[in-house]
Amino acid sequence: MEFDKVKELSQRYLFPNYGRLDLAFERGEGCYLYDDEGKQYLDTVAGIAVCSLGYSHPEWVKAMRDQVSHLVHVSNLYYIKEQAQLAQRISTITPEPITRTLFCNSGAEANEGAMKTAVRYTGRTKIMSALNGFHGRTSAAMGATGQKNIQNSFEALINKDAYVYYTFNDLEDVKAKMTKDTAALIIEGIQGESGVHSATREFFRGVRDLCTDNGTLMIVDEVQTGMGRTGQWWCCDALGVIPDIMTTAKGLAAGMPIGAVMSTDEIASVMTPGTHGTTFGGNPLVTASGCAVIDIINREHLLENVRTVGEAWTKDLKALQADFPNKIVDVRGMGFIQGVEISTPEEAASIRDYMIGHQVLVNLAHGKTVRLIPPLIFSMKQKDDFMKVFSEAVALL
């Protein structure tokens, strides 16, 4: 279908809740997307950190075809082989003693499941979350998202008394606001949506200590940073902290809709039959996808690729910042979650548009940060191809 027809139908029949760019894609291969005219685009967005293996990875495609031909969905009324297999694989990549998994359909649902678990386990009523964090757009997850622009007009759905907002990277603020009624503190190792802001190791470890001292559960939101995006399986690994509960979603199934809550035997034990559930969560198709993703990341040494290419990419971006200090405010992040803050939102949009015109896709976060979240297979050559076009775009500002 031609692009104009896709746009016409979308504008006629879909809710107008997305500000879409004038692009539509027919297929993908590796780190490239192709439009209806066959034009190739180098993709550093990866479906917003979802397509961890890029597009049409042959081993993943085979796993999906095999699963579709056998069983797509039953329900959680029964034992599901693929679900059990994925939970076992996840237990091999999470820090001890996190060995249990609850599957759902998205990151927001995973964060809601994590908060429900924490409240039930502790018997407490308060959730602490960071200003400028992002944990999803369902009611409780939106309540934990410390951004007024996301909460505005939906206040009726949010129990304001349940949430306490702290300042990211300010341990004294956390200490002052945590009480014996705090069930959980939810935190991102890197705040992706607000412009790729990283927690310091000192702050992250300090939060861990405060949670332990107060009997508060530490929930680490790894929805965007997990599954190898930082060069480790989890951002909390890179920061040297073991949380009580972890959540993930985006990269876990390479494009299939999945979310997961991971915790210890003791904490998971409170979620007895009837306390939580989902019709589609953890069905055979999505969990078979997750199994394939973990196997491929291990077999192809993709964590090492993220570290190697990511470190070189950071150096290149910081060198470009040194050349254009009046145009690039900051370079942040690690591995394959990099943020390049541009002086103004208008200039950031100009860079994005230039890149699209030269067949490279980038994403803007929080208005003026170019967020780079490519597939984990992104190569050194593709990094160089990106830098050539990006340097041109910055120089033309």
One domain for residues 293 and 314: no
One domain for residues 254 and 390: no
Domain final residue, candidates 299, 323, 344? 299
Structural domain of 187: 71-299
One domain for residues 131 and 265: yes
Residue 162 lies in a domain: yes
Looking at residue 377, its pLDDT comes to 99
Question: What is the total residue count of the chain?
Answer: 397
Q: Cβ(42)–Cβ(379) under 8 Å? A: no
Residue 126 lies in a domain: yes
Residue 31 lies in a domain: yes
Pairing of strands 337-342, 328-334: antiparallel
Domain final residue, candidates 236, 271, 299? 299
One domain for residues 134 and 159: yes
Name 364's bridge partners. Answer: 370
Point out the residues of the chain with pLDDT beneath 70: none
How many folded domains does the chain comprise? 2
Whether a cis peptide bond, with omega within 30° of 0, leads into 375 is no
CATH no. for residue 206? 3.40.640.10
- Reference 342, options 353, 354, 329; nearest CA is 329
Looking at residue 182, its pLDDT comes to 98
The secondary element (H helix, E strand) that includes residue 103 is: strand 100-104
Looking at residue 209, its pLDDT comes to 98
Buried b (16+ CB within 10 A) or exposed e, 99-134: bbbbbbbbbbbbbbbbbbbbbbbbebebbbbbbbbb
One domain for residues 360 and 376: yes
Q: Which amino acid is at 104?
A: C
Task: Find the DSSP H helices in the chain.
Answer: 3-13, 46-49, 58-70, 81-93, 107-122, 139-143, 148-151, 171-177, 201-214, 235-238, 265-268, 284-299, 302-323, 345-357, 380-395
One domain for residues 257 and 317: no
Residue 64 lies in a domain: no
Residue 66 lies in a domain: no
CATH no. for residue 367? 3.90.1150.10
Looking at residue 355, its pLDDT comes to 98
One domain for residues 201 and 157: yes
Looking at residue 113, its pLDDT comes to 98
One domain for residues 189 and 305: no
- Rounded to two decimals, the pTM is 0.98
One domain for residues 294 and 307: no
Looking at residue 45, its pLDDT comes to 98
pLDDT digits (tens, 9 = 90+) for 359-378: 999 999 999 999 999 999 99
Alpha-carbon distance of 146 to 241, in angstroms, equals 23
Looking at residue 212, its pLDDT comes to 98
What residues contact residue 350 under an 8 Å CB cut-off, 6+ apart? 393, 396, 397
- What is the number of helices (H) and of strands (E) in the chain? 15, 17
Looking at residue 234, its pLDDT comes to 98
DSSP state of 95: P
Domain final residue, candidates 240, 274, 299? 299
Residue 61 lies in a domain: no
- Radius of gyration from C-alpha coordinates of the chain: 21
